[in-house]
Amino acid sequence: MTHPSNMKYKIPVAEPLLGQEELELVADCVRSGWISSKGEYIGRFEEEFARCCGCKYGVAVHNGTVALHLALVALGVGPGDEVIVPDLTFIATANAVIYTGAKPVYVDVHPRYWCMDPEKVEERITDRTKAIIPVHLYGHPCDMDAIRDVAEDHGLYVVEDAAEAHGAEYKGRKVGSLSDVACFSFYGNKIITTGEGGMCVTDNEELAEKMRLLRNHGMDPNRRYWHIMVGFNYRMTNIQAAIGLAQLRKLDKFIEVKRRNARLYSSLLEDVEGIVLPPEEPWAKSVYWLYSILIEDDFGMSRDELMRFLEERGVETRPFFNPIHIMPPYRTGESFPITERLARTGINLPSSVKLTEEEIEYVANLIREAGKR
């Protein structure tokens, strides 16, 4: 197989897989006229997605960022509060906290599995701390028992940021069911997609009701244009939900493919010097949203050189997220050494469910070749 260098990104990091099922349900929305935020697919998607997470209630919203914001507001997080988030995550986790008026407090990640380190959470707690947001990074779950123990000891809420981990498991239980409320994203590169989209899932009926109210301008469901709190328009459209419903039916298959692709990558890369393969703790079932490796000093070239080397050969990669605490609007002057090292050495390799075995072999062989230079 040849990948001429003038073809930019023949192999992308992530690509949605959409088909006839999505097309048919969307066509039904268009034909029926139910294209806005009323219509049968929204309730069905909420119900089926919540069930698939092992939760009672789902509240669909228009992206994962507002799902986090909605959950925090519904829990009463606001000005004067502090919320503990991992330093290594997508920026939306911290932004959602800032939107409420609360302050994000950063914590380092675990050196082995790259998610929030429960042992470091405790030392960040003050009498202003209200909640903890563990993030299941790149598809690997957090150590939720340990995080919940700390939260219980101090009377804090736990909000899972599960935007990258649909279907991942912790000790045999699905992520999304391991906290007060969990937030998912259905952005185009996520494990399943609705274009833009998100959902909050919970077992707490009162909280679900409050999120529904806030999602729809705080309008009393029994009295039109009577607003009992200051809410938002965070509604999902019927078209998004229709796509989501079709995607949801493929989730198990997608996860199977992602896990198989991860095994293939790992078997092809395990003997390459200077590479750290992605973790999977004994208590975890990762969904490998993005198959990720670390490029250490004894590899043949630097992480950034390897990214360029792959790009010139038609392979798109992504660097890990930057540590939040070093970026201008968030700067704290602190130091989180594990996050800093991972951010410097980590890359995400092509991980879409559309990848062929040959493409994975092509990428892995290029990395082996690069390591020998």
Shortest CB 191 distance to ligand PLP, Å: 10
Q: Which residue has the tokens 């598809």?
A: 139
Among 37, 100, 179, 185, binds ligand PLP (CB under 6 A): 185
Shortest CB 294 distance to ligand PLP, Å: 19
Candidates 29-37, 87-95, 107-115, 343-351; binding stretch for ligand PLP (CB under 6 A): 87-95
Candidates 85-93, 121-129, 219-227, 279-287; binding stretch for ligand PLP (CB under 6 A): 85-93
Shortest CB 354 distance to ligand PLP, Å: 19
Nearer of residues 134 and 371 to ligand PLP, judged by Cβ = 134
Tell me the CA distances in angstroms from 71 to 35, 85, 103, 203, 334, one per residue in order.
25, 15, 16, 13, 28
Task: State which of positions 98-157 bind ligand PLP (CB under 6 A).
Answer: 135
Residue (of 3, 2, 1, 72) closest to 314 by Cα position: 3
Among 45, 187, 265, 309, binds ligand PLP (CB under 6 A): 187
Candidates 47-55, 159-167, 298-306, 361-369; binding stretch for ligand PLP (CB under 6 A): 159-167
Kindly report each contact of residues 299-305 with a partner whose C-beta sits within 8 Å and lies 24 or more positions away, as own/partner.
Answer: 299/272, 299/273, 299/274, 299/275, 299/370, 299/371, 300/274, 300/370, 300/371, 300/372, 300/373, 301/370, 301/371, 301/373, 303/344, 303/345, 303/346, 303/347, 305/370
How would DSSP label each residue in 296-326? -TTSSS-HHHHHHHHHTTTB--EEPPPPGGG
Shortest CB 102 distance to ligand PLP, Å: 17
Helix (H, G, I), strand (E, B) or coil at 216: strand
CA torsion 342-344-345-350 (nearest 10°) is: 90
Nearer of residues 95 and 204 to ligand PLP, judged by Cβ = 95
Among 93, 177, 286, 317, binds ligand PLP (CB under 6 A): 93
Query: Apex CA 71: angle with CA 333 and CA 241, to 5°?
Result: 120
Among 59, 74, 163, 214, binds ligand PLP (CB under 6 A): 163
Among 39, 198, 278, 314, binds ligand PLP (CB under 6 A): 198
If binding is defined by CB under 6 A, does position 199 make contact with ligand PLP? no
Shortest CB 313 distance to ligand PLP, Å: 27
The token pair that represents 324 in the structure block: 């939040």
Between strands 275-276 and 198-202, the pairing is unpaired
Question: How many chain residues are in contact with ligand PLP, going by CB under 6 A?
Answer: 14
Shortest CB 57 distance to ligand PLP, Å: 20
List interacting residues with ligand PLP (CB under 6 A): 63-65, 89-90, 92-93, 135, 161, 163-164, 185, 187, 198
